[in-house]
Amino acid sequence: MNSEAVPRPIIEARAIGKRFGAFHALRDVSATFHEGQVTAIVGPSGSGKSTFLRTLNRLEAHDSGEIVIDGIVLSDDIKNLNAIRREVGMVFQSFNLFSHLTILRNLTLAPMRVRRMARAAAEEKAMNLLERVGLKTQASKYPVQLSGGQQQRVAIARALAMDPKVLLFDEPTSALDPEMVNEVLAVMRELAYSGITMLVVTHEMGFAREVADRVIFFDEGVILEDTTPESFFSNPGHERAKAFLSQVRHGF
Amino acid sequence: MNWTRQHPGWAMFAAMIGLLLFLWGMALPLAAAPSPIGPAAEQFADGARITVGLTLIAGSAGVLIGVLAGLGKLSRFWPLRWLCDSYVWLIRGTPLLLQILFVWLALPTIMPEGVELSDFACAAIALSLNVGAYNTECVRAGILAVPHGQVEAARALGLTPLQTFMDVILPQSMRVALPALANNLASLVKDSSLAYAISVVELTMVGYRVQAESYQPIPVFVTIAAIYLILTTAFTTLTAALEAQLDVGQKR
Ligand SMILES: Nc1ncnc2c1ncn2[C@@H]1O[C@H](COP(=O)(O)OP(=O)(O)O)[C@@H](O)[C@H]1O
Ligand SMILES: [Mg+2]
């Protein structure tokens, strides 16, 4: 989808390097992501997928290279950082809903504080988003009262409440019981078709193959493959990718 | 305390009203009591108001100090950390009576000309600093108990560090810190009696005077003890209700 018009680059990562002490987590990672594109990021555990995603909204600071988001260079400059975080939403593996707030307040907090939205407008928007993820009736509950799948759908709605241009997902279904994975994937599928830019770290190969426009394969801190889902799944170029695919296909 | 758990709002309200009624009205029934209590009813009421005043002022200031110093202890800036560590070390390692005397006798000598501190103010300052040091440890523990994912979620949504602290970290850490803070507040009701040493006429001092005039220590001190028990019970109810209020959304 979205392949006809020439899309605008929204995230440009140029030669990103990141070390944790002596450990080299990212080595000169470069990638450009275009508006509306849905990218699946796959690879073995510990290969740097989360680290890469987290450098994009500076939950981790990169050591070298340059990240440009929607024309703004990502740095410690607080103004730029706040501008970028408004545009880039994130969904975490462990949901991270604010446990002391109701579902509704989880959705209205950031729009009211960061976008200075009036409460009534923020609540109306929140209710629309909750309806979109099928949880309108749960608005007054607290996160602990919801199942994992419901919490993750709320977390997606919470990110959407800020109208981000890009959504980052870090293994959004990995902490879920198997019967709840599909309800979350369904929401993500609907989002993908709505045209928002998405970067999804995932082990759900079915989702990657069916929904993504592009697959990036990480291994030991570098991007080994950056290609279409068709070519990645039918004809991976590297031995490491082949080994990874056969492992996820045949279980662990 | 079951009723308190189920109706936290009402319990808080009832405890507040009860406390106020008790303070304003206690002179009336006491006046009807036989000598030596009856004739001194007004003195008892005044003493109780001073004790409650000291407790409320030092209690609120102590929470504020506890939050600031608790944050300071977690600061990345080492001089601040060192300052807060020293403060807690100093206060917890010396007697409260010494601290009260110090503020009363030593502070005026280093205050600028023309600034006069009343005895009551000296007692309030010393008690605030004292309870603040004990609160610091509780607040620090509370902040450390907030899962890091909560902070990451807030930062990823674009909340500033201050907003993240006020809207997410503080309320969640208070939920953890409150039982210990409540304990400190209950101790404060009793510790405020040491203000008698700098001639603040609080409840214990009233008792001492009245029994000295009447030579009847037993009825006088029983009355004083009863008033303290009513005060500590009201404060305990208040904080238990606050705890229940903050407990919402928490796993039980
Ligand atoms: N905060 C950190 N401190 C030290 N090492 C880290 C930290 N975060 C990640 N790492 C290490 O970096 C490597 C890549 O981690 P990560 O990006 O989480 O991998 P993935 O998401 O692909 O499983 C791992 O070996 C991990 O142990
Ligand atoms: Mg990861």
Q: Is A25 in the pocket of ligand 1 (CB under 6 A)?
A: yes
User: Are A94 and B149 inside 8 Å of each other by CB?
Assistant: yes
Amino acid at A35: E
| Cβ atoms of B133 and B92 closer than 8 Å | yes
User: Are B156 and A142 inside 8 Å of each other by CB?
Assistant: no
The closest residue, in CA terms, to atom 2 on ligand 1 is A20
pLDDT tens string, chain B, 252 residues long: the values are: 566 667 777 777 777 788 878 877 888 888 887 888 888 888 889 999 999 999 999 999 999 999 999 999 999 999 999 999 999 999 999 999 999 999 999 888 888 877 888 999 999 999 999 999 999 999 999 999 999 999 999 999 999 999 999 999 999 998 888 888 888 988 999 999 999 999 899 999 999 999 998 898 899 999 999 999 988 888 888 888 888 877 755 644
Task: Give the nearest chain A residue to B156 (CA atoms).
Answer: A85
Residue A93, pLDDT above cutoff 50? yes
| Cβ atoms of B233 and A85 closer than 8 Å | no
Question: DSSP letter at B165?
Answer: I
| Single pTM value for the model | 0.85
Instruction: Tell whether B150 lies on the interface with A, counting CB pairs under 8 A.
Output: yes
> Mapped to the 3 state alphabet, what secondary structure does A126-173 carry?
HHHHHHHCCCHHHCCCCHHHCCHHHHHHHHHHHHHCCCCCEEEEECCC
A134/A122 Cα distance (integer angstroms): 18
Q: What is the mean pLDDT of chain A?
A: 93
A174/A202 Cα distance (integer angstroms): 8
* Strands of A88-91's sheet in order across: A88-91, A166-170, A197-201, A38-42, A214-219, A222-227
Q: Is A51 in the pocket of ligand 1 (CB under 6 A)?
A: yes
Interface residues from chain A to B (CB-CB < 8 Å): 57, 59, 78, 82, 85-86, 88-90, 92, 94, 96-102, 109-110, 113-114, 142-145, 155, 158-159, 162
| Cβ atoms of A33 and A197 closer than 8 Å | yes
| Cβ atoms of B150 and B168 closer than 8 Å | yes
Q: Is A193 in the pocket of ligand 1 (CB under 6 A)?
A: no
- Nearest Cα neighbor of A112 from A120, A122, A125, A126 is A122
| Cβ atoms of A204 and A192 closer than 8 Å | no
Q: Is A152 in the pocket of ligand 1 (CB under 6 A)?
A: no
| Cβ atoms of B210 and B45 closer than 8 Å | no
**Phi, psi (deg, nearest 5) at residue A198:** -130, 135
Task: Give the nearest chain A residue to B172 (CA atoms).
Answer: A100
